[in-house]
Amino acid sequence: EAQVTQNPRYLITVTGKKLTVTCSQNMNHEYMSWYRQDPGLGLRQIYYSMNVEVTDKGDVPEGYKVSRKEKRNFPLILESPSPNQTSLYFCASSWTGLTFEQYFGPGTRLTVT
Amino acid sequence: AQTVTQSQPEMSVQEAETVTLSCTYDTSESDYYLFWYKQPPSRQMILVIRQEAYKQQNATENRFSVNFQKAAKSFSLKISDSQLGDAAMYFCAYRSDSNYQLIWGAGTKLIIKP
């Protein structure tokens, strides 16, 4: 089954404790992206990757890191989480090209206290 | 920079009736794509319908159709014969032809009254 998986689905942590949210897709997609969703703001892009070892900032990259060492994986790293990073996070992937549909993971609900 | 505006934070409709969700966007580009996504309580993002800006014909997917007005930069979603399973947050999104980033509206919560 074609899918994007994220782990964990829920995470409660404390300020400053490094964490990683994993994202994996099994569709051989080149493009992968991380979004955060906050009430009243819709989704905002954090980082994206056009292919292995190619990553770039989105609209809200501060406080986040990513890496793309393998095509299928695109982890999101919070080196020192803060309460303003409490949010719902989505990973998405797609093929590059004009026929474009992004496939979304199930979301990760992160709470930083 | 492109922006997407959904002016209706919440809409409600009686089951089996028709409802229209509004979306406007701002762009200086001529080639782009517009999307409506549905987010049910499960939080999963589900693509409902897609419209290419170069196509004059409005997209239709079963009970879902759009009214795309390029000159007015308007992209509304019409849901016919509303069903209880249509209850969700609906997001309008924009993507240019030169950038893979999706620009999102704030969303409209759709309530279906039985």
Q: Is the pLDDT of residue A61 over 70?
A: yes
Strand partners for A113: none
Q: What is the pLDDT of residues B43-88, one digit of tens each?
A: 999 999 999 999 989 999 999 999 999 999 999 999 999 999 999 9
pLDDT average, residue stretch A68-94: 97
Among B33, B101, B105, select the one facing A42 at the smallest CB separation.
B105
Q: Which residues of A touch B102 (CB under 8 A)?
A: 33, 35, 43, 45, 102
Instruction: Inspect the interface and report whether the beta carbons of A45 and B100 lie closer than 8 Å.
Output: no
pLDDT at position A92, please?
Answer: 95
**pLDDT exceeding 90 applies to what percent of chain A?**
88
Which DSSP symbol is given to A2? Answer: -
Beta strands in chain B (DSSP E): 3-5, 10-14, 19-21, 24-26, 32-39, 46-52, 60-61, 64-69, 74-79, 88-96, 103-104, 108-113
Instruction: Inspect the interface and report whether the beta carbons of B101 and A33 lie closer than 8 Å.
Output: yes
Q: What is the pLDDT of residues B4-44, one digit of tens each?
A: 999 999 999 999 999 999 999 999 999 999 999 999 999 99
Q: Is the pLDDT of residue A97 over 90?
A: no
- Report the alpha-carbon distance of residue B29 to residue B48 in Å, rounded: 24
Q: Chain centroid to CA B96: how far?
A: 16
pLDDT at position B56, please?
Answer: 87
Q: Is the pLDDT of residue A98 over 80?
A: no
pLDDT at position A1, please?
Answer: 85
pLDDT average, residue stretch A17-27: 97
Question: Which residue, B81, B94, B63, is CA-closest to B16?
Answer: B81
Q: Which one-letter amino acid corresponds to residue B75?
A: F
pLDDT at position A99, please?
Answer: 64
CA distance B20 to chain A (A): 19
Q: What is the mean pLDDT of chain A?
A: 94
